Chain A
Amino acid sequence: MLKKWSSRPYVLWSIIFIVVPLVMIIGYSITIKDPITGKLVLSLENFNRFLSPIFIRVFIDSIILAMASTILCLIIGFPVALVLSSMKKSNQNFFLFLLIVPMWMNFLLRTYALRLILGNNGLINKFLTVINFPNIQLLYNELAIMIGMVYNFLPFMILPIYTVLVKIDPLLLDAARDLGADNRRVFTKVILPLSFPGVIAGITMVFMPAMSSFVIPSLLGGNKINLIGNIIEEQFVRMGNWHFGSAVSIILILFILLSMGVMNRYDQQEGENIIW
């Protein structure tokens, strides 16, 4: 049957190109080079090493920053998706493209340009000086990293939410209004719950890369704030320690999969136990 066979090619592909590399990474994470013989031995040493205060703190910092950026993207992006979906049909596709085209410009270039805008002598601070406001430190700190993340991930939050909002049956909204609901209740009791699949897809596409990003913390955080992505990159490239790098990656993967799993519970219960 079509249903059964349509996913088979991808299942095969993903086994070769996703699962097999994953198994390799797992293999690296549970081995270390014996310092004496130089041979590879099975060991949980890599995971042990991660359980030190330095790395735990980096991990928690990364979670907080990624969550904050994701929430910001959601708060800023949801209204955009809403406005977009209520536009004239002929304008919607145009605006969709407008939102995503900036992302087609090279990432490094955009980030360098961001620094010209955020720096102490940058556009924003120059403007603040003109209107006699005090300058804000918008570069080389956590705020800069968050701005960078929101800048780079916002469209990936807006797009999935928009695709769901656009197909919400307007008759449903009319029915709700006819039954006496005011605009606010129409939003919270009808639109919001129905948008959940899109919201979850959006959070997925933002939180996950935010957790593992390393270029943004590096360029905008001045390399002073180490996030888990930086640690992993360092281990693989600069320190050549694939074993420890893999272990940290596995921990990251497990954590994210778990949190995604928890979030998906809300999805199952849409229409039933929404906490609003």
Chain B
Amino acid sequence: MKRKLVFVLLFSIILVLSGCSNDEKVVLNVFNWGDYIEPSVLESFTEETGIEVNYETYPSNEDMYLKIKSGGTQYDVIFPSDYMLEKMAKEDLLEKIDLTKIPNFEHIGEDFKNPKYDLNNDYSVPYTWGTVGIMYNTEMVDETVDSWDILWDEKYAGQILMYDSQRDSMMVALKKLGYSMNTKNIDELNEARDLLIEQKPIVLAYAGDDGKGMIEQGEAAMFVTYSGDAMEIIDSYDHIEYALPKEGTNIWYDCLAIPKNSENIEAAHEFINYMSRPDIALKNFEYLLYSTANVTALESIDKAYLEMDAINPDISKLDNSEVFRDPGTFIEEFNRVWTEVKAAN
């Protein structure tokens, strides 16, 4: 018994010691969404540049923000979404990007350069982008889907899935009412709240990524989701489609950025440059099926994808669409309203 114990103790000490890293070479700390990069890209980056990569993941912008804000761990590259980037830049949590160190920036489409949420690309380089729309089962929904109204249709009670996100659900309600998703008008907000509360009885659930599975299984008829998320399902099934409502929707962008206390700013720039190389962007696109901001890469993708709204929507369909802006302190009102929606019966 004693001997076994000593052996186990020794074994675990060895394990612990082998887990301690040596900090001689350059190690880049990359912090990304889960499963949001083609797995071999990190290895090929290390092969070509000699820079080791420590890779950690997070489930949402807010989780990422909490860790960066607390200043605990050093990260060198992060992947914030548009509104989060704006917020972090405002709070001085980001390092400015030196575009001269990112020659591959020329491959980024003009539409993505100098975005409203980050003028002059001071802090970010675009990675992926997309829209929010309705993924629906044509066998369960036999009419044209082109408006948010269908989510309030009693006919589909118990078959409707909303996205479990304050901003996206509020956006749907605000757009349906014809208001801006970035409104700072409390009355408009309250109206949106009432609309969502009215909808609650016929909503099956506020789903996360599990919503896709529900659509696949036929448990639900429609799901408010991100275009990239929807792609895998749409690509695999003929009877599942993606629609962009005419009232307009949210256009979102995910970008690469560098947090303020990075200790490897040079290497971080190299990484961002590497990710913006057309062949790498293409690799990522084919793995993720999320629209890429890299137009040079776009030239090489399967033409069939370019026809799909979920990858390459017609500009005319995006007339009323907006990008999220950081609401600043007004977020408290959004928070209050969403809590009331969730708590309502």
Q: Do A and B interact directly, with beta carbons closer than 8 Å?
A: yes
Interface string of B86-105 (1 = CB under 8 A from A): 00000000000000000000
A219 touches B210 (CB 8 A): yes
B66 touches A58 (CB 8 A): no
**Of B65, B204, B217, B331, the contact of A140 (CB 8 Å cutoff):** B204
**Of B60, B63, B166, B207, the contact of A222 (CB 8 Å cutoff):** B207
Name the interface size band of chain A. 20 to 34
A226 touches B343 (CB 8 A): yes
Given A120-B219, A140-B205, A237-B62, decide whether A57 and B210 contact each other with a Cβ distance below 8 A: no
Bound CA span A8–B214, Å = 53
Name the interface size band of chain B. 20 to 34
Nearest to B200 among chain A residues (CB) is A224
Given A121-B218, A226-B342, decide whether A115 and B210 contact each other with a Cβ distance below 8 A: yes
Residues of B within 8 A of A95 (CB): none
B166 touches A238 (CB 8 A): yes
Residues of B within 8 A of A119 (CB): 214, 217, 219
Given A54-B340, A121-B218, decide whether A222 and B205 contact each other with a Cβ distance below 8 A: yes
Residues of A within 8 A of B46 (CB): none
Nearest to A58 among chain B residues (CB) is B343
Residues of A within 8 A of B342 (CB): 223-224, 226, 230
With contacts defined as CB atoms under 8 Å apart, how many contacts are there between chain A and chain B in the complex? 56
Judge if A112 is at the interface, Cβ distance under 8 Å.
Answer: yes
Residues of B within 8 A of A226 (CB): 342-343
Chain A interface helix/strand/loop/mixed: helix
Give residues in A with beta carbon < 8 Å to B. Answer: 54-55, 57-58, 112, 115-116, 119-121, 140, 218-219, 222-224, 226, 230, 234, 236-241
> Can you pick out 23 interface pairs between chain A and chain B where the beta carbons lie within 8 Å of each other?
A54-B339, A54-B340, A58-B343, A112-B213, A119-B214, A121-B217, A121-B218, A121-B219, A222-B206, A223-B164, A223-B206, A223-B342, A224-B205, A224-B206, A224-B342, A226-B343, A230-B342, A237-B60, A237-B66, A238-B166, A239-B331, A239-B335, A241-B335
What 5 pairs across the A-B complex have the smallest Cβ distances? A222-B205, A223-B206, A54-B343, A223-B164, A140-B205
Give residues in B with beta carbon < 8 Å to A. Answer: 60, 62-63, 65-66, 164, 166, 200, 203-208, 210, 213-214, 217-219, 331, 335, 339-340, 342-343
